[in-house]
């Protein structure tokens, strides 16, 4: 019998999906070997705030186990809208908010409702590995604008402008960026906004790491003049509140677009669990009955760990780390070791049981780099850096 599948299966594969092969090996090995150190994923070792967990438990005990509103419960949508309005100065209401199972689903919803066969979505690269499939699943083409390592992985206006064609429908950006940790400046966002207005394009802005920015306030492109009506901002609580497994994300945009998101969810999800949404309301609340400020403490931990890791790794001959401006990842240039990124990542795991991600899958600009996460405990992070040094010294 010949197995026959939809053409869709080819569009959701590619380098982005293949990049996780080594990480999968590492997680499987870690199930039986506590000596394995995983630095290949951004799943914080920190705990969800207790007040958030307590809210979910109470909701379960009160039998909040039935269907909810497809677009998300009103208190949560109102809370998300209020927070984003405070940040941007743009008035948003619950009709501008769609609650999704994580930021990844918000990206999927946005791509599906803004592009289709024959269209193009422009994204600066390096970019998160799932963007490729998230765009291609719509039938649209992903167009990459390079952000070279030699330019600090920052956007180049000429490269972006030259990549726009009559088929371009959307510009997809991430700030702070995964994998590079680059946070777009007001000037860079203004440049992108100018391109979007000039060519009448939508912008999808992935800001899931917005609360983890080091040393300065996060800026959303939706706050710029004329951008709220053409921007979809996606984010969630996974990174800011160590709630990756709760699957609470959202998309914020014009109410007409959110209505289409609602229709898509109707035939796909039929709403999220009520008890997780009740907990999310608490995560977004101020004061003693909320956990909004918990994100600041987590950000400070990420920043301290980042400094700890980079201080150790930048002393290793042949390695050079790009200091991130936010998030929980750093890009490490391994070209000085004489190894490719794939050789380095695979060799490191085989020799030292430390998994990092070959950054090539994030885009051609990331060749020669690996991405490592500092979302692990300090002692494990120090041990991982020591093993990386031992590996490099043994190979050079």
* Residue pLDDT, tens place only, 200-256: 999 999 999 999 999 899 999 999 999 999 999 999 999 999 999 999 999 999 999
Q: Which element (helix H / strand E) includes 82?
A: helix 74-88
Tokens representing 129 are: 């590995």
Number of domains into which the chain is organized: 2
- Percent of the chain at pLDDT exceeding 90: 91
Q: What is the CATH number of the domain that holds 73?
A: 3.40.640.10
Looking at residue 16, its pLDDT comes to 55
Q: Are strands 141-146 and 329-333 parallel, antiparallel or unpaired?
A: unpaired
Q: What angle do CA 124, 213, 54 make, to 5 degrees?
A: 115
Is residue 214 assigned to a domain? Answer: yes
Q: Among 283, 307, 335, where does a domain finish?
A: 283
Looking at residue 22, its pLDDT comes to 87
87-126 per-position pLDDT tens digit? 999 999 999 999 999 999 999 999 999 999 999 999 999 9
Picking from 203, 8, 230, the residue whose alpha carbon sits closest to that of residue 111 is 203
Going from the C-alpha of 124 to that of each of 217, 354, 387, 391, the distances in angstroms are: 22, 29, 33, 32
Span 316-334, mean pLDDT? 95
Q: Among 251, 283, 315, where does a domain finish?
A: 283
Q: Quick one: 239 and 146 in the same domain?
A: yes
- Provide the whole-model pTM: 0.95
Looking at residue 61, its pLDDT comes to 98
Residue 396 has pLDDT above 80, yes or no: no
- C-alpha to C-alpha distance for 227 and 192, rounded to whole angstroms: 10
Name the residue with tokens 């160590």. 242
Which domain, by its residues, includes 379? 9-47+294-395
- C-alpha to C-alpha distance for 99 and 216, rounded to whole angstroms: 27
Q: Quick one: 149 and 112 in the same domain?
A: yes
Q: Quick one: 97 and 213 in the same domain?
A: yes
Q: Give the pLDDT band of residue 395 (cuts 50, 70, 90).
A: confident
Exposed / middle / buried, residue 89 (Cβ in 10 Å: 0-12, 13-18, 19+): exposed
Q: Give the pLDDT band of residue 167 (cuts 50, 70, 90).
A: very high
Whether the bond into 284 is cis, omega within 30 of 0 = no
60-88 per-position pLDDT tens digit? 999 999 999 999 999 999 999 999 999 99
Question: Which positions ≥6 away from 264 have C-beta within 8 Å?
Answer: 109, 112, 113
Looking at residue 2, its pLDDT comes to 84
Q: Quick one: 234 and 311 in the same domain?
A: no
Q: Among 283, 310, 337, where does a domain finish?
A: 283
The rounded Cα 150 to chain-centroid distance in angstroms is 23
Do the Cβ atoms of 170 and 195 come closer than 8 Å?
no
């Amino acid at each position: 019998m010949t197995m026959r599948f939809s053409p869709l299966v080819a569009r959701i594969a590619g380098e982005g999906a293949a990049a996780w092969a080594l990480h999968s090996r590492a997680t499987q090995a870690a199930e039986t070997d506590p000596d394995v150190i995983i630095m290949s994923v951004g799943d914080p070792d920190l705990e969800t705030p207790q007040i958030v967990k307590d809210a979910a438990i109470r909701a379960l005990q009160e039998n909040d186990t039935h269907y909810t509103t497809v677009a998300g419960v009103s208190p949560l949508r109102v809370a998300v809208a209020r927070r984003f309005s405070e940040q941007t100065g743009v008035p948003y209401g619950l009709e501008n908010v769609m609650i999704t199972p994580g930021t990844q689903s918000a990206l999927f919803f946005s791509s599906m409702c803004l592009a289709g066969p024959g269209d193009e979505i422009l994204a600066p690269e390096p970019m998160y590995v799932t963007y490729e499939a998230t765009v291609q699943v719509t039938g649209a083409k992903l167009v990459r604008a390079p952000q070279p390592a030699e330019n600090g992985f920052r956007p180049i206006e000429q490269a972006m402008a030259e990549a726009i064609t009559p088929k371009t429908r959307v510009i997809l950006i991430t700030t702070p960026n995964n994998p590079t940790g680059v946070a777009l400046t007001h000037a860079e966002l203004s440049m992108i906004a100018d391109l979007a207005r000039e060519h009448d394009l939508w912008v999808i802005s992935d800001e899931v790491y917005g609360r983890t920015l080091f040393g300065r306030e996060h800026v959303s492109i939706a706050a710029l003049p004329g951008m709220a009506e053409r921007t979809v901002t996606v984010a969630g609580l996974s990174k800011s509140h160590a709630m990756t497994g709760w699957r609470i994300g959202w998309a914020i945009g014009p109410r007409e677009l959110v209505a289409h998101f609602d229709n898509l969810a109707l035939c796909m999800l039929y709403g999220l669990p009520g008890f997780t949404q009740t907990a999310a309301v608490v995560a977004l609340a101020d004061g003693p009955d909320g956990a909004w400020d918990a994100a600041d403490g987590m950000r400070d931990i990420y920043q301290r760990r980042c400094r700890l890791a980079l201080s150790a790794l930048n002393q290793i001959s042949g390695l050079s780390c790009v200091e991130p401006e936010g998030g929980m990842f750093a890009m490490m240039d391994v070209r000085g070791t004489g190894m490719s990124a794939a050789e380095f990542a695979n060799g490191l795991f085989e020799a030292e049981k430390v998994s990092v991600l070959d950054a090539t899958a994030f885009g051609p600009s990331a060749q020669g780099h690996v991405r490592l996460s500092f979302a692990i405990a300090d002692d494990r992070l120090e041990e991982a850096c020591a093993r990386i040094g031992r590996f490099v010294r043994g190979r050079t």
